Amino acid sequence: MDKVKRTEYNHKYYIAHCEEEKARGYRYREEHREEVNKKRREHYALHPEDKEYARNWKNKHKERRNKERRALNYKYRVEALTHYGGGKLACVRCSESDIRCLSIDHINGGGYQHRQKLGGSGVNMARILRREGFPKGYQTLCMNCQFKKRIENHEVGYG
């Protein structure tokens, strides 16, 4: 297959399988983060003009990239909250469904220490749980129920 036909074929394939290809790329970069970063550093050491181009491109498209990132973060948050809400986007105790009030709760406590160890909360937590295949030990609670639980279980900050 000549180069032009191959390019056309690749473009059509990508259009037809865009979401799958993006997800595959994200997974690869997550799984091979150190390797990818090493190759990137080596490339930029040899081609400093590419680093400057990338920096300019990021600045030029900052608003669009932020909008896309916010949409992806929202998707991950909804996915995690729904999973830990028993298939519903709602608090498992009181059925509150306003997403602004919902959070991921560590069933056995220790969330503060866990977040410190992972270096993230909120969206980062949803992203991490998604990457780990939604492990057990979490639930979706609204903030009121989460504070009630902390008081009932004498967790951090409450006597």
The phi, psi pair for 35, rounded to 5°, reads -65, -45
At 115 the pLDDT is 76
Q: Say if residue 42 is in the same domain as residue 2.
A: yes
* Angstrom distances, CA of residue 63 to CA of 76, 122, 153: 20, 22, 43
- Same-domain check for residues 75 and 106: yes
Chain-centroid distance, C-alpha 155 = 27
Based on the domain organization, do 81 and 133 belong to the same domain? yes
Same domain, 80 and 43: no
Closest CA to 126 of 88, 83, 95: 83
Q: Mark whether 52 and 90 lie in a shared domain.
A: no
Range of 53's domain? Answer: 1-60
- Name the DSSP class of 61: T
Q: What is the pLDDT of residue 120?
A: 61
Could you tell me if 80 and 155 lie in one domain? yes
Residue 159 has pLDDT above 60, yes or no: no
Which runs of E-coded beta strand occur in 67-143? 102-106, 138-142
pLDDT tens digits, residue range 16-28?
A: 888 888 888 888 9
pTM of the model: 0.65
Q: Provide the 10 A C-beta neighbour count for residue 24.
A: 11
Rounded Cα distance between 35 and 154, Å, is: 44
Contact 118, 70 (CB under 8 A): no
Q: What is the pLDDT of residues 76-124, one digit of tens each?
A: 999 999 999 999 999 999 999 999 999 999 888 887 777 777 766 666 8
Q: Are residues 77 and 54 in the same domain?
A: no
Average pLDDT over the chain, rounded to whole?
87
Indicate whether 141 and 119 sit together in one domain. yes
User: Do 91 and 26 lie in a common domain?
Assistant: no
- Number of folded domains in the chain? 2
Look at residue 140 and give its three-state secondary structure. strand
Q: Do residues 84 and 56 both lie within one domain?
A: no
Same domain flag for 51 and 73: no
At residue 93, the pLDDT reads 94
Indicate whether 19 and 74 sit together in one domain: no
Burial of 80 (C-beta count, 10 Å sphere; 0-12/13-18/19+):
buried
pLDDT digits (tens, 9 = 90+) for 28-59: 998 999 999 999 899 888 888 888 888 888 88
Tokens 């930029």 identify what position?
Answer: 44
Please name the residue that has the structure tokens 């998707």: 75
